[in-house]
Amino acid sequence: MKKLFLLAIAVIGFTVSSNAQDIKLGVKGGVNFANVTGSDIDFDSRTGFHIGGVLQISVLETFAIQPEVLYSAQGAELGDIDFDIDYLNVPILAKLKFAKFLSVEAGPQLGFVVNEGDNVQDIESFDFSGAVGAGVEFGSFFGQLRYNFGLTDINSDEDGKNSNFQISVGYYIF
């Protein structure tokens, strides 16, 4: 896992040094509406949060690569029982920019379990997801809407994938 993380940093570093016209570093946070889908059990969504850092690397005026590192409170609820699963998510998104302030984004997301609640058992420590979304930028401020859809099961014994709708606001430090 450490090798994968170091490889990702090396690739991002190479991209920054060789192709970038503009680099923005920022922070973001927001609300999650998470659930587990594909299971025989009908879960209710869990409202949580996410917070982390964003790096936007503009390759062209209308195209950027946007890696992020986010702490994300996900999981689901079943009646009065909370199934809390918190992840360190690393989305790596391709971002198309329109009209200088609108954008759409899509790409893979790697998730690593950092905390699981008392009611959670046999959770896989790694989650692979896809992400699609849209955003707006006004100067140093930005907002994003994103849907993350799980591609791998979160439990080794049952069907069930993460599903997470996010609303974010953020600020580019530079």
How far is the CA of 96 from the CAs of 28, 29, 40, 56, in angstroms?
19, 21, 37, 12
Using one digit for the tens of pLDDT, what is the confidence trace for 11-49?
A: 555 544 444 469 999 999 999 999 999 877 788 999 999
- Report the CATH fold assignment for 21-172: Porin (2.40.160)
**Taking the domains of the chain in order of start, what are their residue ranges?**
21-172
Share of the chain above pLDDT 90, in %: 67
pLDDT of residue 13: 56
Which region among 9-13, 16-20, 51-55, 165-169 has the lowest average model confidence (pLDDT)? 16-20
Per-residue confidence at 151, pLDDT binned at 50, 70, 90? very high
